[in-house]
């Protein structure tokens, strides 16, 4: 028996299980293929999203590579929810829960069919962390292949991306964009296959996952429509064979040190707040003690040097042209900011992978700024506590908006209410928009708030209005925003007790978020507080609301 078939022998080479073998013959597997290790190829491919529409083709390329390596690759599918399409609609409630469904699917399929390993090909925001969580649960040799970033769009000489379309709506409402140009931006923003092009959640998480060692070098920065991405798909099998031979599993790769590498890269690049949720969830699934305190520590000591959209200028395709993520990692490694001894899916350490890589050349006019003259001296993913967030919150503060904001609350119990108010010019300069009852339990599903933040930016209020929520933000969000407020309103958190006119202060320097209410006043309001009614829920969202942990715990559903 092939000694790499540690699990699949049970269904393909077991005399006591003839029915399984008979069914495998029915699929067209030959005697040779039955004797080879079985590798599941998990595709998050589907047709209705540019981030995912090409992934089934990549899955077939990965399968072709398996054939060359004498591995039996078998494709199966899991789901994805397009954040860009569902944003601002009821569908966004399903986005974060889809991460758990993806993890459940990979765990169920691989263990249910006794496969020896898995390669997942993923494209949109929740795909990558969901796949990694599933890999950790099965803890068999595994590699993630990122579907790659989209090319930039262009309209009348302006370089576009998906956030350009969201912000165009705010400009149209304000009257600074004609109907013709509004339609032109929408048609040109996404020119083909690939995930949203800035340092939004997809590119943030692909960078984090490559930094932690679970994808091949350059996976995060190889564009979707590039020869390098095609080669990466085909080559994945040869590295999976190394993992099988050396019995290297996800829990050997994802450690305290590799998570620190991931957070360091995310912060230095100016990545999405969603990385906090996802990396906390990955850590919990890996049984690695890693908390908001670890994020705060690394964030506070790491400068932001990546000049990426949404707050900056460049897209992931620009980093690709300047050496890709390994060139950036080599720059950080040379400066002593990365652990080089972490093992990766190549079978080599981070240091060994980077040995022959030339570091990116930093410049104040380049994608990557010098560490000695960064865009921000410490990280932008500020972990805030205070009487509005006793268990923590996450702010994405680039520094362009300033370091503190004080204003009167404008309170909304749903995103739609807030959107209607912003579009009707009912939100004024100096106010703090509060969107609550949109947390993991109360939303449910902790929907992203890109639409209201984009409308605020498009209306020219980005420096004059703050927004806080127990929901979360898209990687495309910028402005003075605080999300993940815990406890959420549905769980009795103080954010649920706010009223219009309460004074809120957000301070990145003191890492605090507070309101001008005494404990006595909060207690008085608590006695008359009425919770949101979610008795109408059914199916996925009902189960999610009942099972999900807090945002400060990563919103996992398999609590330990």
Give the C-alpha distances (Å, rounded to integers) separating 415 from 436, 468, 469, 540.
8, 11, 10, 21
The pair of three-digit structure tokens given for residue 102, joined into one six-digit string = 């993806």
Residues 6+ apart with CB under 8 A from 387: 494, 514, 515, 517, 519, 522
Q: Is 125 annotated as a binding residue?
A: yes
Reference 506, options 516, 520, 496; nearest CA is 516
- In b/e form, how buried is each residue of 129-149, taking b as 16+ CB within 10 angstroms? bbbbbbbbbbebbbbbbbbbb
The pair of three-digit structure tokens given for residue 513, joined into one six-digit string = 């978020």
Task: Report which DSSP code applies to 343.
Answer: B
Q: Is 168 helix (H, G, I), strand (E, B) or coil?
A: helix
Euclidean distance between CA atoms 121 and 206, whole angstroms = 11
Q: Is 448 annotated as a binding residue?
A: yes
Please check whether residue 125 is in contact with residue 274, taking contact to mean a CB–CB distance below 8 angstroms.
yes
Q: Please identify which of the residues 474, 512, 514, 549 carries the catalytic annotation.
A: 474
How far separated are the first and last CA of the chain, in Å rounded?
A: 37
The pair of three-digit structure tokens given for residue 336, joined into one six-digit string = 């002593």
Q: For the residues of 214-269, what is the DSSP string, one character each? A: SS-TTTTTS-TTSHHHHHHHHHHHHHHHHHHHHT--HHHH--HHHHHHHHHHHHHH
> Does 403 sit behind a cis peptide bond, omega within 30 degrees of 0 on the bond before it?
no
Q: How many CB atoms lie within 10 A of CB 242?
A: 16
Q: Is 126 annotated as a binding residue?
A: yes
Please check whether residue 459 is in contact with residue 479, taking contact to mean a CB–CB distance below 8 angstroms.
no
Q: How many CB atoms lie within 10 A of CB 460?
A: 14
- The structure tokens 């395709």 sit at 317
Please check whether residue 36 is in contact with residue 5, taking contact to mean a CB–CB distance below 8 angstroms.
yes
Q: How many CB atoms lie within 10 A of CB 523?
A: 11
Q: 434 - beta bridge partners?
A: 411, 468
Q: Tell me, yes or no, if 474 is annotated catalytic.
A: yes
Residues 6+ apart with CB under 8 A from 16: none
Residues 6+ apart with CB under 8 A from 117: 37, 39, 40, 140, 141, 142, 240, 243, 244
Give the C-alpha distances (Å, rounded to integers) separating 233 from 117, 149, 527.
16, 15, 58
Question: Would you list which residues are annotated within the binding site for [2Fe-2S] cluster?
Answer: 51
Question: Would you list which residues are annotated within the binding site?
Answer: 51, 83, 125-126, 448
Catalytic residue set: 474
Question: Would you list which residues are annotated within the binding site for Mg(2+)?
Answer: 83, 125-126, 448
């Amino acid at each position: 028996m092939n000694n790499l078939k540690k699990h699949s022998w049970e269904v393909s080479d077991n005399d006591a299980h003839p029915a399984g073998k008979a069914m495998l013959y029915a699929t067209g597997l030959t005697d040779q293929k039955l004797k080879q290790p079985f590798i599941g190829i998990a595709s998050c491919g589907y047709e209705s999203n540019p981030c995912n529409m090409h992934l089934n083709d990549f899955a077939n390329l990965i399968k072709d590579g398996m054939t060359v390596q004498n591995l039996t690759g078998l494709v199966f599918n899991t789901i994805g929810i397009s954040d860009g399409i569902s944003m601002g609609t009821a569908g966004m409630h399903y986005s974060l829960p889809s991460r758990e469904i993806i993890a459940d699917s990979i765990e169920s399929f691989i263990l249910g069919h006794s496969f020896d390993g898995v390669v997942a090909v993923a494209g949109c925001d929740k795909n990558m962390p969901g796949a990694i969580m599933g890999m950790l649960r099965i803890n068999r040799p595994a590699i993630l292949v990122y579907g790659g970033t989209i090319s930039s769009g262009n309209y009348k000489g302006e370089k576009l991306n998906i956030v350009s379309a969201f912000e165009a709506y705010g400009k149209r409402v304000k009257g600074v964009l004609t109907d013709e140009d509004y339609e032109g931006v929408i048609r040109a923003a996404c020119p083909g296959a690939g995930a949203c092009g800035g340092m939004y959640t997809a590119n943030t998480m692909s960078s984090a996952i490559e930094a932690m060692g679970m994808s091949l070098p350059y996976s995060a920065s190889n564009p979707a429509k590039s020869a390098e991405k095609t080669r990466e798909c085909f080559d994945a099998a040869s590295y999976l064979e190394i993992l099988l031979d050396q019995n290297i599993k996800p829990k050997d790769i994802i450690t305290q040190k590799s998570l620190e590498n991931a957070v360091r890269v995310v912060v230095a690049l100016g990545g999405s707040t969603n990385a906090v949720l996802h990396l906390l969830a990955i850590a919990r699934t890996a049984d690695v003690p890693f908390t908001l305190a670890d994020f705060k520590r690394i964030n506070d000591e790491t400068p932001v040097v990546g000049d990426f959209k949404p707050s900056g200028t460049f897209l992931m395709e620009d980093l690709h042209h300047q050496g890709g993520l390994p060139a950036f990692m080599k720059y950080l490694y040379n400066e002593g900011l990365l652990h080089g001894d972490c093992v990766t899916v190549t079978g080599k350490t981070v240091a060994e992978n980077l040995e022959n890589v030339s570091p990116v050349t930093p410049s104040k006019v380049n994608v990557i700024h010098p560490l000695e003259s960064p865009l921000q001296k410490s990280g932008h993913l500020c972990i805030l506590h205070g009487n509005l967030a006793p268990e923590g919150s996450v702010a994405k503060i680039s520094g362009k908006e300033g370091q503190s904001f004080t204003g009167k609350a404008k309170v909304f119990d749903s995103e739609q209410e807030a959107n209607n108010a912003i579009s009707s010019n009912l939100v004024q300069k100096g106010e703090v928009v509060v969107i609550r009852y949109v947390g993991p339990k109360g939303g449910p599903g902790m929907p992203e708030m890109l639409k209201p933040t984009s409308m605020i930016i498009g209306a020219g209020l980005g420096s004059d209005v703050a927004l806080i929520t127990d929901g979360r933000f898209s990687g495309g969000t910028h402005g003075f925003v605080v999300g993940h407020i815990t406890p959420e309103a549905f769980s009795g958190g103080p954010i649920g007790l706010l009223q219009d006119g309460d004074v809120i202060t957000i301070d990145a320097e003191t890492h605090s978020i507070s309101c001008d209410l005494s404990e006595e006043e909060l207690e008085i309001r608590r006695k008359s507080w009425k919770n949101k009614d979610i008795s109408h829920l059914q199916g996925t969202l009902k189960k999610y609301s009942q099972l999900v942990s807090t945002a400060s715990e990563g919103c996992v559903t398999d609590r330990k």
